[in-house]
Amino acid sequence: MKDRTKASKQIAYLLRHNPVGMKISKEGFVNLNELLEKLQERWTSLSKKDIRELVETDPKGRYEIKNQKIRARYGHSINVNPTLEKAQEGTLYHGTTSKAAQKILEEGLKSKGRQKVHLSNSVEDAIEVGKRRTDDPVILEIDVGTASKAGVNIERASDKVYVSDNIPSQFISMKRKKSNLTRNH
């Protein structure tokens, strides 16, 4: 498929932010045929096979297809609530700027513009996320076990991405990429 990246971005936009003209369930699913029709307004040669290939090869596991329906697993700004499995990891990570990290260590990690906070299961993935905003990202560590015991709901959205509503500061510590030192606040 020639416009693979553009089509993938359009799928993300429609499923996460603006499912205009499509019926979307509370779980975030839309009929695969409805999505295909919407996409074919722009890419007439696009097929279900192309969409399935985009879903299956997505490196972050953003999407899922079940029973001829498709959804984005995370990243929504619209009012949907996908049921996901609980996180089992001991530590998850969040990459951000130094300035944002200080605020997060004081106030906790809060979703802004999306329904949930996004976390990574590896330092390397968190660094990549942080590099979207700064050349020298700060990596925050989230103590999943302790947070979960305190009632914080952290869910596995894909192999690489985890989500939560908000994470109070007492479950977050800072880890600098280069120094590899952990500093508890």
Judgement on whether residues 123 and 101 belong to the same structural domain of the protein: yes
Residue 130: CB atoms within 10 Å: 25
The residue type at 155: E
77 in a structural domain: no
Owner of token pair 């089992």: 88
Question: Does pLDDT of 104 surpass 50?
Answer: yes
Domain co-membership, 114 together with 175: yes
User: Which of 58, 21, 52 minimizes the C-alpha distance to 158?
Assistant: 58
Tens-place pLDDT, residues 117-172: 999 999 999 999 999 999 999 999 999 999 999 999 999 999 899 999 899 999 99
Of 72, 101, 117, at which residue does a domain stop? 72
Q: Could you tell me if 140 and 114 lie in one domain?
A: yes
pLDDT, tens digit (0-9, with 9 covering 90-100), for 87-98: 987 999 999 999
Beta-carbon contacts of residue 31 (< 8 Å; ≥ 6 apart): 22, 23, 68, 69
Residue 9 falls within a domain, yes or no? Answer: yes
Both tokens assigned to 166:
């908000």
Which one of 72, 106, 121 terminates a domain?
72
Who's near 161: CB < 8 A, 6+ residues apart?
Answer: 60, 61, 62, 73, 74, 118, 119, 120, 121
- Looking at the structure, do residues 104 and 142 belong to the same domain, yes or no? yes
Answer yes or no: do 125 and 146 share one domain. yes
Handedness of CA 95, 98, 100, 102 (dihedral sign): positive
* pLDDT above 90 as % of the chain: 75
Is residue 34 in some structural domain? yes
- Domain membership of residue 90 as a residue range: 85-183
Same domain, 89 and 179: yes
Cβ 172 vs Cβ 183: under 8 Å: no
Could you give the CA distance from residue 90 to residue 143 in angstroms, rounded to a whole number? 6
Same domain, 68 and 89: no
What whole-number distance in Å separates Cα of residue 75 and Cα of residue 66? 19
43 and 124 both lie in a single domain: no
pLDDT of residue 81: 87
State the total domains in the chain: 2
Helix (H, G, I), strand (E, B) or coil at 127: helix
What CATH number does the domain containing 174 carry? 3.20.170.30
Rounded to whole angstroms, the Cα distance separating 117 from 115 reads: 7
For residue 157, being part of any structural domain is answered with: yes
Q: Which residue among 21, 37, 72 closes a domain? A: 72
Mean of all residue pLDDT scores within the chain: 90
Is residue 135 a part of any domain in this protein? Answer: yes
pLDDT at 165: 87
Same domain? 103 vs 50: no
pLDDT at 111: 84
Q: What's the confidence (pLDDT) of residue 183?
A: 38
Asked if 22 and 99 sit in the same domain, the reply is: no
For residues 93 and 126, is the Cβ–Cβ distance under 8 A?
yes
The model scores a pTM over 0.85: no
Quote the CA–CA distance of 91 and 141 in Å, as a whole number: 6
